[in-house]
Amino acid sequence: MSSDPKTPNRLIDETSPYLLQHAYNPVDWWPWCDEAFEKARNEDKPVLVSIGYSACHWCHVMENESFEDAEVAAIQNENFINIKVDMEERPDVDQVYMNFVQMTTGRGGWPMNVFVTADKRPFFGGTYFPPQPRYGMPSWRQILMSISEAYRERRDEIDTSALEIAAELRRAAAVSSAASGRTDVGTADAALESFVRSFDATHGGFGGAPKFPAAMSIEFLLRHHDRTGSEKALEMVTHTLDKMARGGIYDQLGGGFHRYSVDQIWLVPHFEKMLYDNAQLARVYLHAFQVTGRDEFRQTAVETLEYIRREMLDPSGGFYSTQDADSEGEEGKFFVWKPEEIAAVLGEADARIFNFYFDVSTEGNFEGHNILNRRYTVEAAAAALKIDEQELIDVIASGRQRLFADREARIKPRRDEKVLSAWNGLMLAAFADAACVLGDAELLNAAKANADFLLAEMMPGGRLMRTWKDGVAKIPAYLDDHANVADGLLELYRATGDIRYLSSARSLADTMIKEFWDAENGGFYYTSTEHEELVVRNKDFYDNATPSGNSVAAEVMMRLARLTGDGSYDRYATSVLRLYSGMISRHPQAFGRALSALEFYVAEKREVVIAGPAGNELERLVDKRYLPCTIVVRSRDAANDAVAVPLLEARAPEDGLALAYVCRDMVCERPARSAAELSEMLG
């Protein structure tokens, strides 16, 4: 293939924006496919598997430094079969080789570059390599020449090493799911103490820099507080959410959260925005609003969802994946300000107030520029500026609108417009949840449109796919896709009472059991029985940036058991949670979503059925309350829906008036006829 940079390589036919970014590299890239490995066998060459994603800053750096260099590309093309992988499209491939890199180097991340044999066994790997030796690292060119020489001259050693590594990866996968233990309140209570020990009482969050927004851990703490009344758990939640919402990690003009903070104080973010972060964070802010009544939490959730609808919504109803950190070749350029830029938009008088409140100075707080953040409360800022609080509020509100409009004229960061099932399931749950809590019809319509998209566009032929772009869905879905979409559909069923969403969620759960369940050892595999064979068939348990498919599946199964009356779902959930028990005890902060599922498991079993017209006062009361472990069902067509949901049997309004039926641990109370009566019953 020509090394002419104007001639595209094979990636030009892909839909992934990340792969398309590399389509005009002089490297003779292949997508992940059988043909590439067959070519490696026929030509007796090693395979380079290079993995990244479109919003990855250092992936762009390595592309610019090495993959666009014609001389480097010539070395790669002559000595290797080169495969580019979008880790968001192929997390199964990424998991296998990430485990290998972490096992052999002690660290991992993206870009990730792994050298493998023609039968997909890894033998050498790492992350970013510079174009010249520096930071104690060899150059990418040195790595290529060294691997090529070793493959030619020490082939037996490489083949032996690759076989041993593959065996070790399989052993590690087996060990990770072998141990099981007790699943009880003691595990959750002990986990709380771990969070207390690592809590940053000054800045919020857990541990030091870099600091990630631990949405799943925060949700666990909210559930723990709900069950136990722990004030410490709630204090960690509210302090952390306060600090994040006021920091630079939050986009103070446009809403939505950046990926993480490079410092301990939430000031300087890595500027990419991920769909999955914003889905999970919108929900924890929403739930914190339910628990505390604090409007700032509600506002943060609303602004985050408004950002998603404005920037990340495809006309078809699907949600895009990411926004890049870079624009015009500079990280964060779209988001930062200089004082004179603000004064030019707001005028000197308003700029003086705005800049004080948002920490804008001549020297700047980020490489000579300013990341907007709120160091002061409204009360403190008004007192320091010697102005009325309402004047400050008005200036800030007007200033945000005007600066946002001005910022819209800038060149925006690139957007990865592929749609991923798992991440859309997370956002579906967020919109459905918010629609309930806020009584917002537009949010509910967005949730319905997304569900319709997932059930139609993402399921051609009735089988869920992983990724969709420009009308094309492809790659059979993984465990987390099935689990998160099912979870989102259950939230939408709770919001609407429309039985078709429950039926679709149940169908996805049945697929998980049929195609992903490990009948011998318990737990769900990440790939289905029909998936292509990789070096190892993994089970994913850790809740990292996104929740583990096993964590979400466990709660989905428990919810289905109580909705459908089918106890077999409970048995699958219990098996998964028992596998988690020992791992949670050792590293609780790596299992935030699993801990939330555990709280659901140990909480009092309670169901609430609301029978009556939509929008009645009983529904509004239940929707406003934080009831994370309560099954809520709206009776819209009780006579027909009771077949699928036994809870609805004989649950009807009385003389057209709404009734609420509350049951605890299989014991039901008399129906409530008023909001006051229902509130007393809920406690």
Domain parsing of the chain, residue ranges: 10-176, 185-328+416-602, 335-409, 606-682
Ramachandran area for residue 44 (φ above 0: left; ψ -120 to 50: alpha; else beta) = left
Query: In 386-478, which residue ranges form alpha helices assigned H by DSSP?
Result: 389-407, 421-438, 441-456
Q: Which residues contact 86 (CB under 8 A, 6 or more apart)?
A: 16, 18, 19, 51, 52, 53, 54, 418
- C-alpha to C-alpha distance for 570 and 590, rounded to whole angstroms: 24
How many C-beta atoms surround the C-beta of residue 30 within 10 A? 22
**What element of type H or E holds 113?**
strand 112-116
- C-alpha to C-alpha distance for 117 and 124, rounded to whole angstroms: 10
CB-CB contact of 487 with 438 (8 Å): no
Question: What local confidence, expressed as pLDDT, does residue 614 receive?
Answer: 85
- CA distances from residue 661 to 633, 666, 675 in whole angstroms, order as listed: 10, 12, 12
Question: What is the topology classification, in CATH, of domain 335-409?
Answer: Arc Repressor Mutant, subunit A (1.10.10)
Which residues in 343-423 belong to E strands, given as ranges? 415-416, 419-420
- C-alpha to C-alpha distance for 516 and 200, rounded to whole angstroms: 39
How many C-beta atoms surround the C-beta of residue 387 within 10 A? 13
Running along the chain, 683 residues long, what does each successive block of 10 average in pLDDT? 68 95 97 97 97 90 95 97 97 94 90 96 94 88 96 93 91 64 79 95 95 96 97 98 98 97 96 97 98 98 98 97 91 96 98 97 96 96 96 97 98 96 98 97 98 97 95 96 98 95 98 96 94 91 94 98 94 93 88 96 93 90 96 80 84 84 84 93 89
- C-alpha to C-alpha distance for 165 and 169, rounded to whole angstroms: 6
Is the domain 185-328+416-602 a CATH 3.30.830.10 member? Answer: no
- C-alpha to C-alpha distance for 124 and 499, rounded to whole angstroms: 51
Question: What local confidence, expressed as pLDDT, does residue 669 receive?
Answer: 85
Closest to 18 measured CA to CA, from 70, 74, 48, 57: 57
Cα torsion for 492, 496, 497, 501, to the nearest 10°?
-40
DSSP state of 5: T
Residue with tokens 């990630």: 212
Question: What local confidence, expressed as pLDDT, does residue 639 receive?
Answer: 64
Give CA angle at 372 (336, 428), nearest 5°. Answer: 95
- C-alpha to C-alpha distance for 218 and 224, rounded to whole angstroms: 10
Question: What local confidence, expressed as pLDDT, does residue 3 receive?
Answer: 47
Question: What is the topology classification, in CATH, of domain 10-176?
Answer: Glutaredoxin (3.40.30)
- C-alpha to C-alpha distance for 86 and 423, rounded to whole angstroms: 15
**What element of type H or E holds 607?**
strand 606-611
